Amino acid sequence: MQVITQVSELRQTMQALRCSGKSIGFVPTMGALHEGHLQLLRASVKDNDITVCSIFVNPTQFNNPDDYKLYPRTLEADIELLQTTGCDFIFSPSPEAIYPQHTMLQFSFGKLEQVMEGAMRPGHFNGVATIVGKFFNMVQPHKAYFGQKDLQQVAIVRQLIVGLGFDIELVCYPTVREADGLAMSSRNKRLNAEQRQTAVSLHEALELAKAQLKTQPVATIKTAVADYLNNKPEVELEYFEIADPLNLQPVETIAEGEVALCIAAFVGPVRLIDNLVVNLTEV
Ligand code: AMP
């Protein structure tokens, strides 16, 4: 496994591999790797000749400077973990290498970014689209792997690929959870022991909502979720939405097909998100 930090070296290496007929899988991450990331890496290693994992805490997608500053950075441990997956290249550039000059480029995703993460984190998806677009150009992968944990991000990347005509297959994998149900997240590392225990209440709230989908209207389910979390110490609900899993728009009445139950909440100082995609024939 080779660690690359320079854009020019990455481009040359990837171009040579592509020209020699190798298939390339790409897993973009911000590091502090856990099983959720490793699942994507193992899938890429299985599907492709070559796998590239980027580790880059992208400054332009953070709307909160503290969140950026305190985001866990564990490169040495990440490299060790990646060695167990069969990953071929780690791309871990500096912010200066990626952003040699201020970019004025602005993306607009319409309604898709006016809800949930887009509404709560102004500029977030502009930063995501910028970095994913840059990385797609630098790596030129055949397939790119993303987690359902960031469901709205998957929808944004899908639009980026279609909108800009990237010849890349988007592959999405389900959310990996801790034994108690908490969605794995690099930000979980910032929780203290009590907060870690309470954090599982986000998943519990989603399960509570899921159990009511067939019998209760949207407003009642929303109230039940808010009431449930209100009783939890250090938990502050930011939003809970029942949405269409593809376009993320709020669902007014629960009828048929699939819905996404999406939640964001602070646990202490740490903002966490989670979701469940539920097939209504299965509840
Ligand atoms: P991040 O490092 O948080 O930017 O995540 C990198 C990729 O891993 C994204 O596509 C995430 O959606 C995915 N990911 C993060 N956590 C999980 C998880 N618990 N299960 C599945 N995928 C995940």
How much distance in Å is there from the Cα of 216 to the middle of ligand 1? Answer: 31
Which residue, judged by its Cα, is nearest atom 5 of ligand 1? 29
Ligand 1 close to Cβ of residue 262 (< 6 A): no
CB of 29 sitting under 6 A from ligand 1 = yes
**Ligand 1 site, residue 44, Cβ cutoff 6 A:** no
- Alpha carbon of 35 to ligand 1 centroid (Å): 9
- Going by alpha carbons, the residue nearest to atom 18 of ligand 1 is 36
Q: Which residue stretches of the chain have pLDDT < 50?
A: none
Quote the mean pLDDT of the chain.
97
**Got the DSSP string for the chain?**
-EEE--HHHHHHHHHHHHHTT--EEEEEE-SS--HHHHHHHHHHHHH-SEEEEEE---GGG-SSHHHHHHS---HHHHHHHHHTTT--EEE---HHHH-SS--------GGGGSSHHHHHSTTHHHHHHHHHHHHHHHH--SEEEEEGGGHHHHHHHHHHHHHHT---EEEEEPPPB-TTSPBP-GGGGG--HHHHHHHHHHHHHHHHHHHHTTTS-HHHHHHHHHHHHHTSTTEEEEEEEEE-TTT-PBPSS--SSEEEEEEEEEETTEEEEEEEEEEGGG-
Report which ligand 1 atom has the smallest distance to the Cα of 187: 3
How far apart are the CA of 145 and the centre of ligand 1, in A? 9
Cβ of 61 less than 6 Å from ligand 1: no
pLDDT for res 244: 96
Question: For position 223, what pLDDT does the model report?
Answer: 98
> For ligand 1, is residue 147 a contact (CB within 6 Å)?
yes
Dist. CA 215 → ligand 1 center (Å): 32
Q: What per-residue confidence (pLDDT) applies to 103?
A: 87
57 CB within 6 A, ligand 1 = no
How many Å lie between the centroid of ligand 1 and the Cα of residue 156? 15
pLDDT of residue 256: 87
Q: Is 203 a catalytic residue?
A: no
Q: Is the CB of 30 under 6 A from ligand 1?
A: yes
* CA-nearest residue, atom 10 of ligand 1: 146
Ligand 1 atom having least distance to the Cα of 183: 19
